[in-house]
Amino acid sequence: MNNPFNILNKNTGTPITDEPTAADLAARIKNIIDSSDLVLFMKGIPDAPQCGFSANVVAILNHLKVEFKTFDILSDMDIRQGVKEFSNWPTYPQLYFKSKLVGGNDIITEMYESGDLQQVINS
Amino acid sequence: MAEIFNYVENKIKSHLTDAQVKVTDLTGTMDHLGITVASDAFQGKMLIDQHQIIMDILKEDLKEKIHAVQIKTMTLKKFNEL
């Protein structure tokens, strides 16, 4: 979708569509998390988030004009359950930077407001 | 003060002995809790790691007693500046 009038909040997130096939769930999760510096596990896609918290994190990343990949956990129950256990974090969204969990909506919002988020993703 | 508030406060303090803990009821139903914790155990740690310390302490309770939590963590120094 190319809307020439939407110049302020351009979506910088891209849903992952070319996930390499992997033998088991752990390898799939690793592939997804390693696929980009910034990976967001969310409900829905950046153009159509299915949850207010996911929408909020997408809006923050768009505002910072950073490129990120997204994975829609509603589309895959194995990943949805597996990532929770992998990260020992019970909720979505989850933002990963360089394959490490940075936080969910509360943490990302707090880090954005304090300026820590910008510092982390520029490191 | 509600029983669940005391329970959460004591449980966190039993793991983080220097902790200042404040528990609030976010929804009026006593199962969505706002939990503020100040402790020097958080010094120099990423926010995610600070929150994870609290989540680990309450892990079993989150399966039944508590439906959801909103966590805020800080060091004692920051807490005393508030």
**Any idea which residue has 């039993």 for tokens?**
B14
Query: A8 pLDDT band (50/70/90 cuts)?
Result: low
> In chain B, what are the domain boundaries?
3-81
Q: Is the pLDDT of residue A4 over 80?
A: no
User: Which residues of chain A have a CB within 8 Å of the CB of B49?
Assistant: none
Residue A48: what are its φ and ψ, rounded to 5°? -150, 75
Query: Strands B32-38, B20-25: parallel, antiparallel or unpaired by DSSP?
Result: antiparallel
Decide if domain B3-81 falls under CATH 3.30.230.10.
Answer: no
For all residues of chain A together, what is the average pLDDT? 91
**pLDDT in the model for residue B31:** 83
Q: Answer whether B70 sits within 8 Å of A88, measured CB to CB.
A: no
The mean per-residue pLDDT over the stretch A26-40 comes to 96
Say which residue, A51 or A39, is predicted with more confidence.
Answer: A39
ipTM of the complex: 0.74
Q: Is the pLDDT of residue A71 over 90?
A: yes
- The alpha-carbon gap from A110 to the nearest alpha carbon of chain B, in Å, equals 9
Whole-angstrom distance, CA of residue B82 vs CA of residue B78: 7
- Per DSSP, the residues of A17-80 read --PPP-SSHHHHHHHHHTTSSEEEEESEETTEESSHHHHHHHHHHHHTT--EEEEEGGG-HHHH
Whole-angstrom distance, CA of residue A58 vs CA of residue A44: 11
Whole-angstrom distance, CA of residue A66 vs CA of residue A7: 15
The mean per-residue pLDDT over the stretch B57-76 comes to 90
Per CATH, the number for A13-121 is: 3.40.30.10
Q: Is the pLDDT of residue A6 over 70?
A: no
The residue of chain A nearest to residue B63, with distances taken between CA atoms, is A90
> In chain A, what are the domain boundaries?
13-121
Nearest to A12 by CA among A33, A40, A31: A40
**pLDDT in the model for residue A3:** 56
